Amino acid sequence: MANSGISDTGGTTTGAPVSYRVRRARPTGLAVAAVGILLFNISPFLNWVDPKGEGNPRTGYETDSLVPFIAYLGIGLLAAMAYAMQRARRGQHRGLTLASMAVGIAATLQCIAFALNPMGGLERTDELDPQLGVFLGILGAAIWAIGCGLLAREIEGDDNEDTDAYTVDASGNR
């Protein structure tokens, strides 16, 4: 190692420290997830269902208490992921990102199910038509899940820096 100028302790043989570049997760996935969570948080304020013949549409808040809960859960998960982006050595905590992605997927499926057969109508014998809020919820939740998926693909603390295995597929493509 004497010829290379780098010692076994991480410094150079001349005593100057070697700087290491720590790869960090790109914030693109977090930004995409934030847009999706923002859209999903707007959706409870919009009309989700309209009873046929009544002309009295109901918002996401009036329709199902799960809708605003999921929206607020998204805000909490976004805050936690943003904090992890700042504090984690590599810019993310993959477990948190994957948990947020799971909530985004569940929110998407819940909104799709609601669009196909609005909940609450069976007990009240209402014929309910889905409105704009449901479809904005589907879009926002899907973008939320995709953003978390993009962030989860980025480097994390347990990834090996000496390999490109996490960014290169079997064909060598990035």
Mean of the per-residue pLDDT values of the chain: 79
* pLDDT tens profile 17-40: 655 566 777 888 889 999 999 999
What is the 3-state secondary structure of 116-166?
Answer: HCCCCHHHHCCCEEECHHHHHHHHHHHHHHHHHHHHHCCCCCCCCCCCCCC
Q: Measuring CA to CA, which residue among 148, 2, 8 is closest to residue 82?
A: 148
CA distance 71 to 174: 34
* pLDDT tens profile 125-161: 567 888 899 999 999 999 999 999 998 887 665 545 5
Torsion sign, CA atoms 50, 54, 59, 60: negative
Helix (H) or strand (E) holding 91: none
Give the relative orientation of helices 66-87 and 28-42 as an angle to the nearest 10 degrees. Answer: 160
CA distance 127 to 52: 6
* pLDDT higher than threshold 90 for residue 166: no
CA distances to 104, 121, 130 from 125, in Å: 30, 5, 15
Q: How confident is the model at residue 71 (pLDDT cuts 50, 70, 90)?
A: very high
The predicted model scores a pTM of 0.74
